[in-house]
A and B are shown apart, each in its own frame.
Chain A
């Protein structure tokens, strides 16, 4: 009907009331509405009025604005929960190495699973992520164990022991299997304050009692919990929304790379930068390793009280030239090895390192601490599978109970 009206725009617009008796009304019955009293409007006039409406404040604009804003908030509160993030969280990823999102979706997915199958959950920082192939671990476990556990590689860049505690809280109650915790010296230097400076609880899309307790223990403020996922994880979601918008606009679904170091060329600049970084790591290790060990105690207690998971402590390999070229690195690693041996002995837990079984050289590393050799990546996966099976088959020790 209005198409007919616009076809009638050959007529000059009129501001007076229409009249059914006017010639154009008789000739073009399709413009009956204009003929009955409404002003005939040209396209230009329509456009002018449109922009006037768009640029002039009005009650309608305010109402629409509030509806959009409050509606978005209502939808977020209603729809965005941990199941939603578990299913669609990849759309929040920043890049192929955004392991925080990879682990968030994996951990939330694990949390909603049933505890009906043995699990292997591997935690640690980037040195652990670069150490072993998840596929090699999984395949070798299937060969070694009749009831092959499902494997979950939850290693993230610069993961602290407190981060690991937050992740293991996602393991369903009653689960059986092994939690492998790769502990490098760098991991032990990250306390609550360092974590807060790196984004705190906004790194992962889940809140954790152990993490919050660790923060409070360091005298830091913790955002209150409300039981509404979107509210509790507002920090995580708010910083990820721009990434979501970009990924949706570009139709980009991130495919993660298991290790960015795999097959890369050795980087002398990074090697030397890490050497300089370790210059003050010794003081950091001395100051904060106790805090990390307390977080490790909390992990053990949680696993013993809520699950049947056994803990296996692993020291990732290091470039042999790294402690060789930097005496302070040798000092830190020696102190770390002693600290962990003492802790493991007191807690009656196994503490293993692949160094005795798998020989590594300078050329196998990208820098001081990240393995890059693809063959050793798979070899460490197989080695880890053997240690996991040993752990599963070992008799229950006091370390497994507390």
Chain B
């Protein structure tokens, strides 16, 4: 049971990292940006 819990934790962490990487890839591919005011 402990080993399975550890495996589940690993899966959660990896799943989160994979999702985060996909989000960043979309932002990079679409040249998305939060606009920061530049002067006018």
Contacts and interface: CB of A to CB of B under 8 A. Distances in A.
Tell whether A pairs with B.
yes
A137 B19 CA distance: 45
Interface residues of B, number: 31
A355 interface: no
A55 B6 contact: yes
Contact of B6 (A53, A198, A200, A273): A53
A238 B32 contact: yes
B30 A98 contact: no
Interface in B1-40: 2-12, 14-16, 18-19, 22-24, 26-27, 30-35, 37-40
Interface stretch (A60-68, A108-116, A164-172, A337-345): A60-68
B30 to A, nearest CB: 4
Contacts of A66: 15
A53 B33 contact: no
Contacts of A239: 27, 32-34
Contact of A52 (B6, B15, B32, B39): B6
Contact of A61 (B11, B24, B31, B32): B11
Instruction: Give the dominant DSSP class at B's interface.
Output: helix
Given A55-B10, A184-B40, A274-B39, 15 more contacts: A50-B3, A54-B7, A60-B7, A60-B8, A65-B10, A67-B15, A73-B19, A196-B31, A198-B33, A199-B31, A199-B32, A223-B30, A235-B32, A238-B30, A369-B40
Contacts, number: 141
Interface in A199-258: 199-200, 202-203, 223, 234-236, 238-241, 243
Interface of B: 2-12, 14-16, 18-19, 22-24, 26-27, 30-35, 37-40
Contacts of A51: 6
A358 interface: no
A273 B39 contact: yes
B8 A61 contact: yes
Contacts of A55: 6, 10
Contacts of A240: 34
A225 B38 CA distance: 30
Contact of B2 (A49, A72, A200, A223): A49
Nearest to A274: B39
B32 to A, nearest CB: 4
Contact of A235 (B12, B15, B30): B30
Contacts of A65: 10-12, 14-15, 18
